[in-house]
Structure 1
């Protein structure tokens, strides 16, 4: 509602709204498309089959199984994006955890029943082709969009009942888009200059830490992407920009809306019937941020 009023009242002029759409639109399209791909691939049984294969490779050792999950998370995040990890790997990890705890040993006693093997094969091929294409330089929104359209077309023929409006993460997209609009309006009105002044000018260790902390506060307050877009103009050297990136990328683990990846992660958890405590999430995230941000900023300064 606030975002709508911001546009209607002219706080965000039309030309700036268009510019915002050009910047953030592909991100939101990518999120929608990847969510559809993840949901349909899950229904087809892709993640269940992969989870079974990982369980076999784990040889009954839950610690080894956990190593496989961490490896997939690291590779997915490093070579694709955190959003991709939040959408795809969350489903796979939850499939594993629902089947067996990640402590001690386990027995391979369960197998997945696949009612439509052709659908499984097509979905698996789509995911297998999609992932490497995400790092080729082709716009990721286009790649994910085509993959989503292919799966939608296949499911329309073979399993139409699955195709509902629930496939689209409306709430997540609405929250993200609203935050983008509000922060862009703040930027257009010049209010972000106050935060910009707080970033200072130096490149000493405490200057960099101040930049990282302000970036962290902004990310947890309004989401890391709009926080970065608002503050990046004031981080005018590579070192200062690096500190800002540390703050907006490592620290938005305290509030649910701190990053789009967190919103997507929660959406996937909710879709799979998993409830979490936001209070516990915030406390654990705060502890993590208090360690990661100073240590990483110090490493940046020393480097």
Structure 2
């Protein structure tokens, strides 16, 4: 168990430090402004660029980065441009979930799944790319349908955000860009993430030491992950696996995904994955069906994933009210479509 959890915790700490320091270096603010400039005053173009940015951030720097750091940027941008903010709020949180299938680094559940995939001698990406593309496309189509009245709007292009330290900005930008190929190179993802975090910490130590605080470290999140591992391990050793095997079945991937989605929405996606991994670990397709359920299917309740809870807090801080019912009824439209579509796209 320690061998599995240690690299995940190291990656989680490192990528959180990278994301926080990149945010302080104004990487995300500049990216959002450039998106507004490239869209040339049309909301539908701006939305498509935010879709691309949210998808890229989720894939390369994990769903937490997208949900936690991009959300306040796009909400602030929407407020400045006088655009209804819920279009961008739901774009970030939904794509944070549904775009997190592609790479192991995109979600903690995927990182945990790397071990079973290796034991099955199957490349993660060889199984994930079809359902990942399907889940992203379905999410974008549902967003366009639900918010179609906002897309024809126009806006005035804002000024470029001031960058106090261009060395920090370009250094952080380079680290974020280089992490992409590093994460898909086959190297244990904790290594490039740690190197990137150390490089940025070194730059900030020289240029802006005051930014290096202990609060950069996601202590509460790390403790939560350790507790979840412990609790699920205890329950699994006392009969939980047998119950889940009966509920999820042994043949239908859609049934497995649906069971995983229900568990994620009731108890959070990380413990749902940990509890159900033994039920799915005999097949790479069942493993991917499990990930579809916990990653894409957790978008019904505000506690379905830690990223969603953090996203809700950022929305509240920005003055954007998202009630549980507002989140639920939209999720009831997206979740069945994206889970079923991604499972069908597995295409054995």
TM-score (norm. length: structure 2): 0.68
Distance 2:55 2:36 in 1: 19
Given that 1:183 and 1:222 are in contact with CA atoms closer than 8 Å, whether structure 2 keeps it comes out as no
Match of 1:249 in 2: 295
1:272-300 Cα deviation digits (max 9, x unpaired): 75665351334433442233334544x35
Contact kept? 1:208, 1:301, Cα under 8 Å: no
Distance in 2, Cα, partners of 1:91 & 1:275: 10
Deviations 1:137-160 (A, max 9, x none): 222222122211221222122212
**TM-aligned CA deviation for residue 95 of structure 1:** 5.4
Q: Which has the larger radius of gyration?
A: 1
- Equivalenced residue count is 278
Instruction: Give me the whole-angstrom Cα distance separating, in 2, the residues matched to 1:263 and 1:22.
Output: 28
The CA distance in 2 between the partners of 1:185 and 1:239, in whole Å, is 27
The one of the two structures with greater contact order (alpha-carbon pairs below 8 A, sep at least 6) is 2
Aligned runs of 1:37-76 on 2, under 5 Å?
37-76=18-57
| 2:186 equivalent in structure 1 | 137
Q: CA RMSD in A?
A: 3.1
1:189 is aligned to 2:238: yes
Where structure 2 has 5 or more consecutive residues not aligned to the other structure, the ranges are: 85-149
Deviations 1:140-194 (A, max 9, x none): 2221222112212221222122222222233333333322221121112332311
Distance 1:169 1:94, change over 3 A: farther
- Which runs of structure 2 are paired with 1:269-288 in the superposition (5 Å)? 269=314, 273=318, 277=322, 279=324, 280-288=326-334
Q: Secondary structure at the match of 1:213?
A: helix
Question: Cα 1:132–1:301, aligned 2, differ >3 Å: closer, same or farther?
Answer: closer
Q: Residue 127 of structure 1 aligns to a residue in which SS? A: helix
Change (3 A) 1:194 1:57: same
The answer to whether the Cα contact below 8 Å between 2:33 and 2:158 also exists between their aligned partners in 1 is no
Deviation sequence 1:224-244 (CA, Å, 0-9, x none): 344334323323445544443
Which whole-Å deviations, capped at 9, do the CAs of 1:104-159 have from their partners, x for residues lacking one? 22212422222222222222222222233222222222212221122122212221
Match of 2:224 among 170, 175, 196: 175
State which of 260, 279, 295 in structure 2 corresponds to 1:234. Answer: 279
Instruction: State how far apart, in whole Å, the 2-side matches of 1:37 and 1:105 are.
Output: 34
Distance 1:161 1:180 in 2: 34
Alignment-derived partner of residue 214 in structure 1: 259
* Contact 2:37-2:158 within 8 A present in 1 as well: no
Give the equivalent residue in structure 1 for 2:175: 126
C-alpha distance in structure 1 between counterparts of 2:12 and 2:319, whole Å = 20
How does 1:40-119 map onto structure 2 within 5 Å? 40-77=21-58, 81-83=62-64, 85-86=66-67, 89-90=70-71, 93-94=74-75, 96-100=77-81, 101=83, 103=150, 104-119=153-168
1:36 maps to 17
Asked if structure 2 preserves the Cα contact closer than 8 Å seen for 1:246 and 1:296, the reply is: yes
Q: Residues 40 and 246 (structure 1 numbering): CA distance in 2 closer, same or farther, change over 3 Å?
A: closer
Cα distance in 2 for partners of 1:74, 1:192 equals 34
User: Which residue number corresponds to residue 215 of structure 2?
Assistant: 166
Distance 2:22 2:345 in 1: 40
Q: Secondary structure at the match of 1:191?
A: helix
Aligned pair in 2 of structure 1 residues 49, 240: CA closer, same or farther (>3 Å)?
A: closer
**Whole-angstrom CA distance in 2 between matches of 1:148 and 1:238:** 32
Alignment partner of 2:248 out of 199, 212, 223: 199
> In terms of mean alpha carbon deviation, does 119-128 or 87-96 score higher?
87-96
